[in-house]
Amino acid sequence: MLIALPLLLIPVVLYNIVILFGATGGGGMAEADAILRDPLFSVPMTSGANWNVGVGDLILFLSLILLFFELLKSTSSQKVAIVNHALSLIVFVVCLVEFLLIRGFATSTFFLILAMVMLDVLAGFIVTIIAARKDLDFGGA
Tell me, what's the pLDDT at 31? 78
- pLDDT tens for 57-116 read 999 999 999 999 988 887 776 778 888 889 999 999 999 999 999 888 988 999 999 999
The DSSP symbol for 110 reads: H
- List pLDDT tens digits, range 8-53: 999 999 999 888 877 655 556 777 778 888 889 999 999 999 999 9
pTM to 2 decimal places: 0.83
Cα-Cα-Cα-Cα dihedral of 42, 45, 51, 53, to 10°? -50
Cβ neighbourhood burial of 17 (10 Å; 0-12, 13-18, 19+): exposed
> Phi first, then psi: what are they for 52, rounded to 5°?
-90, 125
Residue of 36, 27, 31, 34 lying closest to 103 (CA atoms): 27
Tell me the Ramachandran region of residue 48: left when phi exceeds 0, alpha when psi lies from -120 to 50, beta otherwise. Answer: left
Confidence at residue 24, expressed as pLDDT on a 0 to 100 scale:
58
Planar angle of CA 20, 56, 33, nearest 5 degrees: 65
